Amino acid sequence: MDDYKNTPEGRAARQKYGDLLQRARPEPSFRHPRMPVSSRAKIFSPFAALRGYEEEIAEEGAWHLRIPRSEPSEEQKEALSAKLQQLRKGMSLKVTYFEGTPDSGFSRTVFGTVEQLDFAQRKLWIACGEKTVLGKERPKLLCFEDILELMF
């Protein structure tokens, strides 16, 4: 392939823009500084053409990871009951719980603080940073029967 500068098109461009080709790149004005390379990269980043696609794929993958619900032993139930009796409002804790249908589901872990305890209804509310659509914090509600493990 020929050198572009020696082609008829290259010679015509050099003749037309020859005075500009030898100049240095102009410095940007104070009002419009150069965009940093990190910001420029965002302009060319890919966009999500299919909204919700990643969530659908994750949900489909999670379906295959479901486990059957297992009943804890009597010792585990007693230890868990003792820990539940020690809970007080405002305590920080880590809770592992079962989420799903009675047949199968997932084991999940949440970190937070005790917001409310109800021994009569056997429920525990944990403030773990979940937010509603309006941005208000919503506590996580757990039934005592679903709790697998408690750590303070």
The pLDDT, as a whole number, for residue 22 is 82
The pLDDT, as a whole number, for residue 48 is 67
Cα–Cα distances in angstroms (integers) from residue 68 to residues 74, 101, 105, 126, in the given order:
19, 9, 6, 25
Count of CB atoms within 10 A of residue 126's CB? Answer: 23
Which residue ranges make up each domain of the chain? 68-151
The pLDDT, as a whole number, for residue 2 is 63
The pLDDT, as a whole number, for residue 98 is 93
Structure tokens at 49: 């053409």
The pLDDT, as a whole number, for residue 1 is 54
The pLDDT, as a whole number, for residue 78 is 94
The pLDDT, as a whole number, for residue 127 is 94
pTM: 0.60
User: What's the per-residue H, E or C state across 43-91?
Assistant: HCCCCCCCCCHHHHHHHHHHHCCCEECCCCCHHHHHHHHHHHHHCCCCC
The pLDDT, as a whole number, for residue 76 is 93
Cα–Cα distances in angstroms (integers) from residue 49 to residues 46, 53, 54, 133, in the given order:
9, 9, 11, 23
Residue 4, φ and ψ in degrees, nearest 5: -60, -35
The pLDDT, as a whole number, for residue 147 is 94
**How far apart, in whole angstroms, are the C-alpha atoms of residue 56 and residue 114?**
32
Cα–Cα distances in angstroms (integers) from residue 28 to residues 23, 31, 35, 42, 45, in the given order:
15, 8, 10, 21, 24
- What CATH architecture applies to the domain 68-151? Roll (2.30)
Going residue by residue through the chain, which has 152 residues, state the pLDDT in tens, using 9 for 90 and above. Answer: 567 788 898 889 888 988 887 888 888 888 888 888 878 777 776 666 777 888 888 888 877 788 888 888 999 999 999 999 999 999 999 999 999 888 888 888 999 999 999 999 999 999 998 888 888 889 999 999 999 999 98
